[in-house]
Structure 1
Amino acid sequence: MYLQKPWKRLVVLFAGPAQNFILGFVLIYVLAVSWGLPILNPDPTPAKVAEVTCVPSSTTVSTKAPPQAAPCKGTGPAAAQGLRAGDTIVEVNGQSISDYGQVADRIGKTSEPVAVTVDRAGQILNFTVVPQATTIITKTSEGTKSEQAHKIGVGFTPPPNVTHYNAASAIPGTFVFTGDLFKQTWDALLSMPSKVSGLWTAVTGGERALDTPVSAYGASVIGGKAVQNDAWYVFVLLLISINFFLGVFNLVPLLPLDGGHMAIVGYEKGRNTVRRWFGRTAAGPVDYMKLMPLTYAVVIVLGAFMVLTLTADIVNPIPVF
């Protein structure tokens, strides 16, 4: 093959990643038409209070059903202090709030009184609210876990996290989503070295972060659980993510990946072009044997990373369901 023209060699080398990208693109279109596409980069949603409620003694969260709160009566801490539906929470304890999810983050772990600043039709009002304890019961296929949190009894209307399409509108939507996914995949690839410490923490008994990489075994387990729970939407998204990651990963310009071979083709073409400018004949192909130490180093590093992710997936898998 090394005797073929550079463009022919590049076509052959790019065939593998191209297959991943084409399959991923088709699956994105199928997902868009069937279920809709997730919003990868949602805009911050102001913390506008939709309702003020009592605080239940417990809330059960499951992947198979919406959250179920225990019955409760009376007014909650927020309502008792004068907060109303329609208020927009702009600060908690002096820290600005740009998204409704930040309210739970700022209040959930404290039982101390919190200073809540709201915007009520343009008027800035300040309240002091004492959070009330509640139990969050999380049910997954791995078992049931309970933890204590604190709430003030305000509810928000979450924004839609999926965009729905018809067969025609799904075409441009697929292209836009593909571009966003390429960027996120590339960012995830660049962040892989920083995930080693998180994987090691998971292997040694610490908590497994949801954004840590998974091995082929871990991905197959997640896919199998998605099918068991009739979460075909998650299953298709997983296939899309795997295809795009494999495609982008194989284009990294390191041997023995396809990108490494493509880089050598580019080097040979550029080198011979320069030689031709000076009236010299084309040089021979690159001696791969001289690159073997670098190739072995890449294989060892990638192999160690794969063993680490596999171990983490076995001893401390990501609890998706």
Structure 2
Amino acid sequence: MTIVLFIAGVLFVAVGIAASIALHEVGHLVPAKLFRVRVTQYMIGFGPTIFSRRRGETEYGVKALPLGGYVSMIGMFPPAKTADGGTVRQSSTGMFQQLAADARRAAAEQLQPGDDNRVFYKLPIWKRFVIMLGGPLMNLLIGIIMFAILIMGFGSAQPTTTVSEVYKCVVPTDQQQETGQTDCGPGDPAAPAFEAGLQPGDRILSFDGREVTSWTELSSWIRDAAGQEVSISYLRDGDTITATIEPLLTERPVPDVDGRAKLNDDGTPVMQDVGFIGVGSRQELVPQPASEVMPAVGESLVRVTGVVLNLPQRVAQVAEAAFSDAPRDPEGPISVVGVGRIAGEVSAMEEIPFEARAATLVGLVGGVNLALFVFNLIPLLPLDGGHVAGALWEGLRRGVAKLFQRPDPGPFDMARLLPVTYVVAILLMGMGALLIYADIVKPVDLFG
């Protein structure tokens, strides 16, 4: 059964990523057709074609290597200029010039009668923006939808008023840091909750005569009641039990708004003397309002952007981990193989409720789409951001020429950037191969 669940998790994420790639290309395809650019191919994958069918002027198909996709539009590269401002096909013995000339020749061979006003490079700049940003924006939309399903449908993990664990004693924080002690020692005071008879599974109903409606509320009351003997009631197997409890004054981390410990500038927790009874809260998925979706998406985008901005360093760390005993950074980049492995492991954890596992898989697909959105905005060819950057440069040149009443410089020749494109493509393939290798020999360990 575990193997079946593992495979089911991998297939869920694989289908989700394949659908995301297909919809990314739809984000390019639809506006291109709306703007009457002739689209010759819509393909999912690269390499040999497995299946294709022509509908109208476009061939739709699937290729052997499911590592991406593309939409082929005519007129991506303008013809080369002559000295008198006309256009000709040029030839050159220079390697880089020959690359550009070959690309222009291939683009020109796609043209058919009536295509003069249907080429990509003749579109207004704003229309090129819409076409090239359509793919990343589709990934952003998918990510938002997945996060909405996750947060509003499944919910986010929230502490409840049900006890998950009860400590037998209180080990001072400084003692834990100095000696690493976590078990009870001879001189450690008994935990107030243990003395009051609390057990895992009990649901706390009231504290100091006040009804408990949330764990956050209860925690604040406990922290303020150090040294005071108060009443506490809890529900166990349908029976209400009332006892007295005296929170112990002890040094504990100061929580922030989401319950995690606040940190000093040096990364150590901010500490404070507060009341403590020695219990943990059971976490449950609690559906959240729609207003929580975009903040969660924004936080994820910030994390992904941080990884992308430091990508060379992050990839170097992955390489070091893959070929040494250094551990993998769980916040670092991973390949589709790593995502699939995590999905399989989560799906196979039968000790975790099905709802929580399904929520994690939905979150993985959403996170991948947000990563695709950010990554494709990198202003380098062959990524979508490279085409956007080229259009921006063309608009800037034409704006400056118009401002100083100079002749229109015409469209920017993206074919001149092909050498850079090939270098970037090779680096991306190398990075992908490294990440796949690392995810096989030194996978990210999220579950200990």
Place the TM-score, normalised by the shorter chain, in its bin: 0.5 to 0.7
Q: Does the CA contact (< 8 Å) of 2:390 and 2:414 recur in 1?
A: no
Per-residue CA distance 1:185-218 (angstroms, 9 max, x = gap): 2122223222234312331242333223211121
Counterpart for residue 82 of structure 2: none
Residue 83 of structure 1, CA deviation:
6.4
Q: Does the CA contact (< 8 Å) of 2:121 and 2:411 recur in 1?
A: yes
Counterpart for residue 272 of structure 1: 398
Q: Residue 81 of structure 1: SS of its match in structure 2?
A: coil
Q: 2:273 aligns with which of 113, 119, 123?
A: 119
Question: So what's the TM-score if we normalise by structure 1?
Answer: 0.64
User: Structure 1 residues 24, 80: closer, same or farther in 2, change over 3 A?
Assistant: same
Residue 288 of structure 1, CA deviation:
2.3
Counterpart for residue 307 of structure 2: 188
Separation of aligned partners in 2, 1:193 and 1:314: 20
Q: Does the CA contact (< 8 Å) of 1:185 and 1:245 recur in 2?
A: yes
Counterpart for residue 252 of structure 1: 378
Q: Residue 251 of structure 2: SS of its match in structure 1?
A: strand
Q: Does the CA contact (< 8 Å) of 2:167 and 2:278 recur in 1?
A: yes
Counterpart for residue 323 of structure 2: 204
Residue 24 of structure 1, CA deviation:
0.9
Q: Does the CA contact (< 8 Å) of 1:195 and 1:213 recur in 2?
A: yes
Counterpart for residue 306 of structure 1: 432
Q: Residue 187 of structure 2: SS of its match in structure 1?
A: helix
Q: Give, as a single letter, the amino acid of the residue that structure 2 aligns with 1:254.
A: L
Q: Give, as a single letter, the amino acid of the residue that structure 1 aligns with 2:337.
A: Y
Q: Does the CA contact (< 8 Å) of 1:186 and 1:248 recur in 2?
A: yes
Q: 2:188 aligns with which of 81, 99, 105?
A: 81
- 2:362 pairs with 1:236: yes
Q: Does the CA contact (< 8 Å) of 2:304 and 2:371 recur in 1?
A: yes
Per-residue CA distance 1:210-265 (angstroms, 9 max, x = gap): 22321112112222333333411111111011000001110111111101110111
Separation of aligned partners in 1, 2:272 and 2:134: 56
User: Structure 1 residues 120, 224: closer, same or farther in 2, change over 3 A?
Assistant: closer
Counterpart for residue 27 of structure 1: 146
Residue 88 of structure 1, CA deviation:
5.4
Residue 294 of structure 1, CA deviation:
2.0
Separation of aligned partners in 2, 1:274 and 1:3: 19
Q: Residue 273 of structure 2: SS of its match in structure 1?
A: strand
Residue 54 of structure 1, CA deviation:
9.3
Structure 1 window deviating more from structure 2 (254-263 vs 206-215): it is 206-215
Separation of aligned partners in 2, 1:119 and 1:54: 13
Q: Give, as a single letter, the amino acid of the residue that structure 2 aligns with 1:209.
A: D
Separation of aligned partners in 2, 1:28 and 1:196: 27
Q: Does the CA contact (< 8 Å) of 2:166 and 2:278 recur in 1?
A: yes
Residue 283 of structure 1, CA deviation:
1.3
User: Structure 1 residues 35, 274: closer, same or farther in 2, change over 3 A?
Assistant: same
Separation of aligned partners in 2, 1:269 and 1:18: 22
Separation of aligned partners in 2, 1:251 and 1:181: 16
Question: So what's the TM-score if we normalise by structure 2?
Answer: 0.47
Separation of aligned partners in 2, 1:212 and 1:302: 16
| Match runs of 1:117-196 below 5 Å | 119=273, 155-157=278-280, 164-165=287-288, 169=289, 171-196=290-315
Counterpart for residue 71 of structure 1: none
- 2:378 pairs with 1:224: no
Separation of aligned partners in 1, 2:364 and 2:313: 22
Separation of aligned partners in 1, 2:149 and 2:317: 34
Q: Give, as a single letter, the amino acid of the residue that structure 1 aligns with 2:397.
A: R
Counterpart for residue 90 of structure 1: 251
Residue 162 of structure 1, CA deviation:
6.1
Counterpart for residue 130 of structure 2: 11
User: Structure 1 residues 277, 164: closer, same or farther in 2, change over 3 A?
Assistant: same
Residue 120 of structure 1, CA deviation:
5.8
Per-residue CA distance 1:122-149 (angstroms, 9 max, x = gap): xxxxxxxxxxxxxxxxxxxxxxxxxxxx
| Match runs of 1:57-68 below 5 Å | none
Separation of aligned partners in 2, 1:270 and 1:238: 39
Number of residues of Structure 1 aligned to a counterpart in Structure 2: 239
Q: Residue 90 of structure 1: SS of its match in structure 2?
A: strand
Q: Does the CA contact (< 8 Å) of 1:87 and 1:118 recur in 2?
A: no
Separation of aligned partners in 2, 1:195 and 1:88: 43
Counterpart for residue 389 of structure 2: 263
Separation of aligned partners in 1, 2:408 and 2:157: 51
Structure 1 window deviating more from structure 2 (209-218 vs 11-20): it is 209-218
User: Structure 1 residues 301, 82: closer, same or farther in 2, change over 3 A?
Assistant: same
Q: Does the CA contact (< 8 Å) of 1:53 and 1:155 recur in 2?
A: yes
Separation of aligned partners in 1, 2:381 and 2:146: 29
Separation of aligned partners in 2, 1:193 and 1:161: 38
Gaps of 5+ in 1: 40-48, 56-74, 92-96, 103-116, 122-153
User: Structure 1 residues 293, 211: closer, same or farther in 2, change over 3 A?
Assistant: same
Q: Residue 201 of structure 1: SS of its match in structure 2?
A: helix
User: Structure 1 residues 283, 38: closer, same or farther in 2, change over 3 A?
Assistant: farther
Q: Give, as a single letter, the amino acid of the residue that structure 2 aligns with 1:23.
A: I
Separation of aligned partners in 2, 1:306 and 1:190: 17
RMSD: 3.3
Q: Residue 122 of structure 2: SS of its match in structure 1?
A: coil
Paired-residue identity, %: 27
Separation of aligned partners in 2, 1:162 and 1:89: 30
Q: Does the CA contact (< 8 Å) of 1:87 and 1:119 recur in 2?
A: no
